[in-house]
Amino acid sequence: MALSKLTTFSAAAAALLLTGGITVAANAGQGAPAAAPAPAAVPAVDIPAGEGTTVAQNRISATASAKAVQAALAKCAADKLPFVTVSVVDRFGTVQAVLRGDNAAEHTIEASKQKAYTAAAFGAPTSELNGRISGNGKPSIADLPGTLFLAGGVPLKVNGVSVAGIGVGGAPDGMLDEACATAGAEAILAQ
């Protein structure tokens, strides 16, 4: 029985070698495969800065953002709410700073970012915005991606224009979140 398996194996190996040899011989006259053409270079276009071509915008600095999230988390800790996360985002929702409390659950991270973005995008505290939701089974502003219309988000404004938002998520009541977010926003004023 062992001799039969050895003979079958030898025959299979010989067939494989023969097939490989035929393939090598067939490809021998073809040379190297042609290289794909290089993509055309896209020229850089140097546009002038100014009205009609660019937009200047204000952003909250990294230092101010760090101070805000620390102050908000400190307020929550003083209120015996160590299970929150604080986020500062720009008005487009790009995260500037996040600080997660020692006992904060994973969902608080996203909630704080979404509250901050909602406040920044609409230029109003999320506690005021949740009254604007009137879906009644129909699409509403609450369906906008990345938004959360629960209390806890506060806009940060420069000359009356919303440039960022601070959001807190995780307290058992959104107004507790908002009190912490407000403390964070006020810490920027103290700079």
Q: Is-contact 63 183, C-beta < 8 A?
A: no
Look at strands 95-100 and 153-158 and give their pairing: unpaired
The model's pTM: 0.73
The residue whose two tokens read 């276009």 is: 45
pLDDT computed for residue 27 by the predictor: 54
Name 179's Cβ contacts closer than 8 Å, sequence gap at least 6.
75, 79
pLDDT computed for residue 37 by the predictor: 72
Whether the per-residue pLDDT at 58 is higher than 60: the answer is yes
Mean pLDDT of all residues in the chain?
84
What are the chain's domains?
62-132+144-189 (3.30.450.150)
End-to-end CA distance of the chain: 88
Name 111's Cβ contacts closer than 8 Å, sequence gap at least 6.
85, 148, 150, 152, 167, 169, 170
CA distance 39 to 41: 6
pLDDT tens digits, residue range 66-78? 999 999 999 999 9
pLDDT tens digits, residue range 112-129? 999 999 999 999 999 999
Determine whether 11 is exposed, middle or buried from the number of CB atoms within 10 Å of its CB (0-12, 13-18, 19+): exposed
HSE, side-chain direction, 13 A CA sphere, residue 115: 34
SS3 of 79-126: the string is CCCCCCEEEEEECCCCEEEEEECCCCCCHHHHHHHHHHHHHHHHCCCH
Q: Is-contact 182 189, C-beta < 8 A?
A: no
**Neighbouring C-beta atoms of residue 23, cutoff 10 Å:** 10
Query: pLDDT band at residue 7, thresholds of 50, 70 and 90?
Result: very low
What would the two tokens of residue 65 be? 């953002």
Mean pLDDT on 74-94: 96
Mean pLDDT on 27-56: 74
